[in-house]
């Protein structure tokens, strides 16, 4: 018995001493004191050192877009760091072109603030704000996609362009110890400034999607920030080819609603890919749009329709369907939203049909 107690005691003592040592080291060696971050040479922030640039900027109400929430897996949170960051890290190089590396572009989630920094960010990011919102409705669009309507509380309205996205802040809960941020496209029209709609697909063990699907209720408060993104309608008047899959519906729907409001007569075809009938949603609304927009056609396609679906529409992979419908794309422009795999495949098809790369706009889920 005594031996057992000594063993446990020694083990505890050794672990405590080592933990204490690390705590002391963390407070002394890893303590970088206060650092100054100069943004665009006009705003100087005093921030605690040792944390990532992305998170200290967020604490100071400057929101850099980031879809993965700081894990270095989306490559969106690029900022130009003019002074004080050291060399580019191996975790950043996959996301940066050689020109960007030469131009001191860095991923702000990977840059640790250790001394005074001088950084440059796009001017429009200053207009990105944090909004307090309230869930006013939640409904199932399909078996795994929920539509979430958020009413803006403070500030009471948001000004965004169709196709842009916002970030949801997920508070700490069972799956996460700290707040995380995830990006979702706005599915509603920009003319509705007091309320926005999001379409969120459930991903098993996804931190944000589990939170939304399993925990979030009508009436709950949700903090968002935004708007971000350049996936917007180009005022060229060219024929449009929209392609989306799954919750990639959201930004395209926003674009179409904006066109409806403006009574835009541009020819537009919208290819929407799903597996079976149970994965289709807002089809009725799209059929309405075919009535109100003179030159709009909605073409849903199922890749694996179930026998009970009695599907008579298009079947096959979305790329095959696009290939069958589009003969010459050299004068058109494309808006794509979906998984990286789908987008890459669609770009290949459109290029084969003669579409210049500069006419293809897309929103990849990171």
Partner 1 sequence: MQELGFFTILFSAVFTNNILLTNYLGMCSFLAVSREVKASLGLGTAVFFVTAATTALNWAVYYHILVPLNLVYLRFIVFIVVIAAFVQLVEMIIERVSEALYQALGIFLPLITVNCAILGACLFMVIRDYSFGQACAYGAGAGLGWALAILAMAGIRQRLAQRSRIPRGLEGPGIALIIAGTMALAFMGFNGMVSLN
Using CB under 8 A, list all residues that contact partner 1: 3, 6-7, 10-11, 14-15, 18-19, 21-22, 25-26, 29-30, 86-87, 89-90
- Residues β-bridged to residue 78: 107
Nearer to partner 1, 30 or 306 (CB): 30
Distance of CA 105 to the CA centre of its chain: 20
Nearer to partner 1, 8 or 136 (CB): 8
Nearer to partner 1, 26 or 159 (CB): 26
Task: Give the integer Cα–Cα distance in Å for 334 and 203.
Answer: 27
In whole angstroms, how close is the CB of 77 to partner 1 at the nearest point?
Answer: 20
For strands 268-274 and 296-302, give the pairing: parallel
In whole angstroms, how close is the CB of 8 to partner 1 at the nearest point?
Answer: 10
Enter the DSSP assignment of 311: -
Nearer to partner 1, 3 or 123 (CB): 3
In whole angstroms, how close is the CB of 10 to partner 1 at the nearest point?
Answer: 6
- Residues β-bridged to residue 120: 80
Nearer to partner 1, 10 or 157 (CB): 10
Task: Give the integer Cα–Cα distance in Å for 211 and 205.
Answer: 9
| Segments of 69-220 assigned E as strands | 78-83, 105-107, 117-120, 129-140, 145-154, 165-170, 180-185, 195-201
Query: Closest Cα to residue 249, out of 187, 162, 173, 335?
Result: 187
In whole angstroms, how close is the CB of 272 to partner 1 at the nearest point?
Answer: 41
Query: Closest Cα to residue 118, out of 218, 230, 20, 42?
Result: 42
Nearer to partner 1, 16 or 315 (CB): 16
In whole angstroms, how close is the CB of 80 to partner 1 at the nearest point?
Answer: 19
Query: Closest Cα to residue 226, out of 335, 297, 130, 140?
Result: 130
In whole angstroms, how close is the CB of 86 to partner 1 at the nearest point?
Answer: 5
């Amino acid at each position: 018995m005594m031996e057992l107690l000594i063993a446990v005691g020694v083990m505890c003592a050794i672990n405590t001493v080592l933990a204490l040592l690390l705590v002391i080291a963390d407070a002394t060696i890893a303590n970088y004191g206060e650092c100054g971050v100069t943004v665009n040479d006009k705003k100087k922030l005093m921030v605690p050192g040792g944390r990532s640039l992305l998170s200290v900027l967020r604490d100071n109400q400057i929101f850099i877009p980031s879809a993965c929430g700081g894990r270095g897996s989306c490559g969106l949170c690029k900022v130009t760091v003019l002074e004080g960051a050291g060399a580019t890290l191996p975790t950043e190089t996959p996301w940066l072109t050689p020109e960007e590396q030469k131009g001191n572009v860095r991923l702000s989630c990977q840059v640790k603030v250790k001394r005074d920094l001088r950084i440059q960010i796009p001017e429009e990011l200053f207009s990105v704000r944090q909004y307090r919102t309230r869930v006013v409705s939640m409904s199932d669009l399909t078996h795994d996609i929920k539509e979430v309507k958020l009413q803006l509380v403070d500030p009471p309205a948001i000004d965004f362009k169709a196709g842009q996205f916002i970030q949801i802040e997920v508070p700490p809960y069972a799956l996460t110890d700290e707040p995380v941020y995830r990006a979702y496209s706005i599915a509603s029209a920009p003319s509705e400034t007091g309320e926005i709609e999001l379409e969120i697909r459930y991903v098993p063990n996804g931190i944000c999607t589990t939170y939304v699907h399993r925990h979030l209720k009508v009436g709950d408060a949700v903090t968002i920030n935004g708007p971000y993104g350049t996936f917007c309608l180009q005022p060229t008047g060219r024929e449009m080819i929209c392609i989306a899959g799954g919750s990639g519906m959201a930004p395209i729907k926003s674009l179409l609603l904006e066109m409806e409001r403006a009574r835009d007569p541009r020819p537009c075809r919208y290819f929407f890919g799903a597996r079976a009938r149970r994965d289709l949603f807002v089809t009725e609304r799209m059929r309405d749009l075919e009535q109100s927009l003179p030159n709009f056609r909605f073409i849903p396609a199922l890749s694996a329709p179930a026998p009970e679906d009695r599907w008579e529409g298009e079947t096959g992979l979305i790329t095959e369907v696009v290939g069958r419908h589009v003969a010459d794309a050299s004068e058109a422009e494309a808006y794509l939203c979906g998984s990286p795999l789908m987008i890459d495949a669609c770009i290949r098809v459109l290029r084969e049909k003669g579409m210049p790369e500069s006419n293809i706009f897309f929103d990849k889920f990171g």
